[in-house]
A = this chain, B = another copy of it.
């Protein structure tokens, strides 16, 4: 049987290769992680709701329950993630983009980070709509960590000579796909977010892993569903009856409005990010009292959304999923709300949370839009693992709903009778989140999530126009903002925010390499250099007289006694020499495509300098 196994293994791996199995495993694993995280979150949320409902009649106790529960959860998330792995805070997508474009950020792919992020994210998601943070970003990061971990398993790595970056690109697609069971938008996300050039050899693995992740997560949802409960997909069945040309025109105006609000949002987000990094009081608090800060901020957020005060007018009791589901409703709320009965436990009537008796829909939606923008910006400053995509998606949906309701209200009855605000919600969600992140995959995501084809044209058009407007004049995206404020080495963001970078030549930024060792100097030379400099990269040349043919040395250990230069580190031949007249942009492209971390600049055959990520970012500072 052992021989049989070996034969089978050989047969399978000769046809398919072990890396294919690795991709499938990654997809299935991430879908399982997503499912169990959702399960834990729903248990925690249900406990909160049960406690809150049980305290009915005691306003003060209800207030404390409403505010302290999420504050406690977020404080735990913050403390946990900070103590186990500080770099697990935030979304993680900007850092993953840097890793994919060739930079080395070793902290971001460790197992401790994986652990801290899973626990922290679960706590943050369990604190619900009060905190209003999402799951996608950290999940993409989790997926890349898992991919990097699978990559390190010797059996898999021995049989293949693929670059580890390929696995990370696949993992990014899996993250989105297993989160939403949407394979196509997962693949498109990994194409558009993860670098300046997409290697087509990663395309089939991406699709395979994303399809496996989406299929597993879909099957898990079906099997775990309680009786009578329905998924978002099955419930959201709208029919778009507005005539096509008419709706196309409206879509264009619609997306103009969206681009405007995206600009406001991005500007205030950028301002908040800068403020938390420059205000001295905040810096001191964030440095020492992260947990306290998280607790206080969430307490404040929860106080604002307390259902017996302002929260009553902004549907604060609904979870993120319910918010999205109610906003996608196809009824015209303004028209129906006059003769509506009290909200019941029927999921079809959940939308009535948006129309508390005696108030107009426009008041609640307007209040939601006004307040949530600032609350969202505030919660983005929390040092916890959290995603910022889903909040933008829901916020955009609310804008779309508002516009749809407004149109239904102001248009004459004949035209507005067949108007479906749900379609505007969908287009709004895709356009807003797409414009915030400068991506188009949200349009596909909106279509895949809801299974709608009738809205394909307006959704795609709105996303395209909003994207074009927000991208004009090199405005940075949400991820770019974070990358710039955190000073991450990500060339595309840098070039976008600093257009003069595209005319900089290598000669203007290169760093002369002092650490040069001749081959005949042997270990002695290396030791001398190690004492005098803190570099870990040396140029190894044939003779000191003329620096002609050189290799570079990455010092690892000094183990063996009386070793040669070759023994103390890894010597790599320098294959590509650039001239000092090369534009920095081309150097970025080469570093990204060939996954090089060091580029060497020569002049008349002599080494004149070295370019790494540090040098290439010099002009920005």
Contact = CB atoms under 8 A, between A and B. Distances in A.
Interface stretch (A325-333, A387-395, A467-475, A480-488): A467-475
Nearest to A457: B215
B586 A594 contact: yes
Given A199-B196, A576-B576, A204 B593 contact: no
Nearest to A199: B197
A602 B590 contact: no
Interface string A161-193: 000000000000000000000011000000110
Given A578-B577, A586-B594, A606-B605, A461 B211 contact: yes
Main secondary structure of the interface of A (DSSP, over half): helix
A502 to B, nearest CB: 10
A198 B191 contact: yes
Interface of A: 15-17, 20, 183-184, 191-192, 195-201, 203-204, 207-208, 211, 215, 218-219, 222, 244, 440, 444, 451, 453, 457, 460-461, 464, 467-469, 471-473, 492, 548-549, 573-579, 581-582, 586, 589-590, 593-594, 602-606
A437 to B, nearest CB: 13
18 contacts: A20-B468, A184-B444, A197-B593, A198-B200, A203-B440, A204-B471, A211-B460, A211-B461, A215-B457, A215-B461, A218-B457, A222-B244, A573-B581, A575-B578, A575-B579, A575-B586, A576-B578, A576-B586
Contacts of A604: 548-549, 605
A198 B198 CA distance: 5
A208 B464 contact: yes
A468 B16 contact: yes
A590 to B, nearest CB: 7
Contacts of A453: 451, 453
A605 B548 contact: yes
Contacts of A590: 576, 590, 593-594
Number of copies of chain A assembled together: 2
Given A204-B440, A573-B581, A576-B578, 7 more contacts: A20-B468, A183-B460, A191-B191, A211-B457, A574-B579, A575-B578, A575-B586
Contact of A203 (B16, B191, B244): B191
A198 B207 CA distance: 16
A467 B203 contact: no
Nearest to A589: B593
Nearest to A502: B161
Contact of A192 (B203, B215, B222, B548): B203
A208 to B, nearest CB: 5
Contacts of A195: 200
A2 B152 CA distance: 66
A203 B191 CA distance: 9
Nearest to A196: B200
Nearest to A492: B200
A272 to B, nearest CB: 27
Contact of A244 (B17, B196, B219): B219
Contact of A579 (B197, B444, B577): B577
A222 B243 CA distance: 12
- Sorted nearest first, the 6 A-B pairs with minimum C-beta distance are A605-B605, A575-B582, A577-B577, A197-B197, A198-B198, A548-B604
A593 B471 CA distance: 23
A589 B574 CA distance: 17
Nearest to A583: B575
Contacts of A577: 576-579, 602
Nearest to A472: B15
A315 to B, nearest CB: 29
Contacts of A199: 196-197
A451 B589 CA distance: 39
Nearest to A443: B207
Contact of A576 (B461, B582, B605): B582
A15 B191 contact: no
Nearest to A15: B472
Given A577-B577, A606-B605, A200 B203 contact: no
Nearest to A596: B586
Nearest to A194: B200
Contacts of A192: 200, 203
A334 B444 CA distance: 38
A579 B590 CA distance: 15
A608 to B, nearest CB: 11
Contact of A208 (B16, B219, B468): B468
Contacts of A191: 191, 198, 200, 203
A197 B307 CA distance: 52
Contacts of A197: 197-200, 593
Nearest to A454: B451
A157 to B, nearest CB: 19
Contacts of A594: 586, 589-590
A96 to B, nearest CB: 15
Q: Which of A222, A444, A575 is most buried by chain B, counting CB atoms within 10 A of its CB?
A: A575
Contacts of A549: 603-604
A199 B492 CA distance: 12
A89 to B, nearest CB: 27
A201 B196 contact: yes
Contact of A581 (B204, B492, B575, B593): B575
Contacts of A473: 15
Nearest to A464: B208
B579 A211 contact: no
A198 B197 CA distance: 5
A197 B573 CA distance: 25
Nearest to A548: B604
A471 B207 CA distance: 15
Q: Which of A195, A219, A471, A576 is most buried by chain B, counting CB atoms within 10 A of its CB?
A: A576
Contacts of A201: 196
